[in-house]
Amino acid sequence: MLDYKKLPDHIKKVAKEYDPSSNRIDCLPSKFHYNGQKYYAISYYPTLQDLYIREDGSVPPYEEVNRATLIVHVYQTAGSTIVTTGAEWALSPSAKLYRRWEKVLTSLKNKLQATAPPEMMESINRCLDSAKRLREDQAIIFNSVEKGTDLLVEANDTEIVTEETQRQVRACVVEMVRAAVRKNDEQLKTERDRKEILAYLHTVFFKKPFSFWIISGS
């Protein structure tokens, strides 16, 4: 993985001369391979300026790297999303809770199907179907984060990033976010059903209150 200290001396010289007043100079952990050319992507702080330097130390005109700059920016943003938000979502206890919720609902369905009103069984069935979808979407989030992380690690290890790398990492973020949105929608759609199940269990089936966090699936 590249860092500023590991850059070739002639690259560091060009980078420092470009903005000598910067408090900190950093670089993309990999060279960016674009249109047959490899660039070092340099960032300056606190000015937040960017500089692209060819391997021979020459600085290309802006027109040559205009699109490359946008691609790298998207790659960095997507990568940051994977390792921060994505990691948090992937490592949350949601998957375990959804499996437990699904198990509870299956047990309730078996115990109540002969005595509960049809409306209550419909609520249980809707929540059971929803629990399965929630578990599937949580698996999509985990797999997307895992794939995105593998792509970032590979780019750092090989010290090469391409436009295709950017596309793949961004696709992981899109898949992850879509699954998260679906999860939120699912929980909203079944909120009333969960409350009705809880009320029914409190008044009809159980003498002791059933733990709300199990029933709500939250």
Q: What is the pLDDT of residues 80-138, one digit of tens each?
A: 999 999 999 999 888 888 889 999 999 989 988 888 899 999 999 999 999 999 999 99
Burial class of residue 201 in the structure, from the number of CB atoms within 10 Å of its CB (0-12 exposed, 13-18 middle, 19+ buried): middle
pLDDT at 207: 54
pLDDT at 172: 98
Q: Considering the domain boundaries, does residue 73 fall inside one?
A: no
**pLDDT exceeds cutoff 90 at 48:** no
H helices of the chain, where?
9-18, 62-81, 87-90, 94-112, 118-158, 163-189, 191-200, 212-216
- Same domain (yes/no): 152, 203: yes
Domain that holds residue 51: 4-60
- Same domain (yes/no): 97, 202: yes
Q: Considering the domain boundaries, does residue 78 fall inside one?
A: no
Q: Domain tally for the chain?
A: 2
- Same domain (yes/no): 109, 48: no
pLDDT at 162: 97
Query: What tens digit of pLDDT does each residue of 68-88 get?
Result: 999 999 999 999 999 999 999
Q: Considering the domain boundaries, does residue 101 fall inside one?
A: yes
Query: What tens digit of pLDDT does each residue of 148-194 get?
Result: 999 999 999 999 999 999 999 999 999 999 999 999 999 999 999 99
Q: Considering the domain boundaries, does residue 159 fall inside one?
A: yes
Residue 1 tokens read as 């993985």
Q: Considering the domain boundaries, does residue 74 fall inside one?
A: no
Nearest to residue 163, comparing CAs of 175, 173, 151, 153?
151
pLDDT at 173: 98
Lowest mean pLDDT among 38-52, 133-147, 193-207: 193-207
Q: Considering the domain boundaries, does residue 76 fall inside one?
A: no
**pLDDT exceeds cutoff 80 at 30:** yes
- Same domain (yes/no): 123, 191: yes
Residue 107 tokens read as 């047990």
Residue 128 tokens read as 């059971």
CA atoms lying within 13 Å on the CB side of residue 53? 25
* pTM to 2 decimal places: 0.85
Residue 213 tokens read as 């966090």
Q: Considering the domain boundaries, does residue 71 fall inside one?
A: no
Nearest to residue 41, comparing CAs of 3, 78, 79, 96?
3
- Same domain (yes/no): 106, 172: yes
- Same domain (yes/no): 110, 166: yes
Residue 113 tokens read as 């199907």
Strand partners, 32: 39, 161
- Same domain (yes/no): 32, 105: no
Q: Which residue has the tokens 């949105």?
A: 181
Q: Are 198 and 111 in contact (CB under 8 A)?
A: no
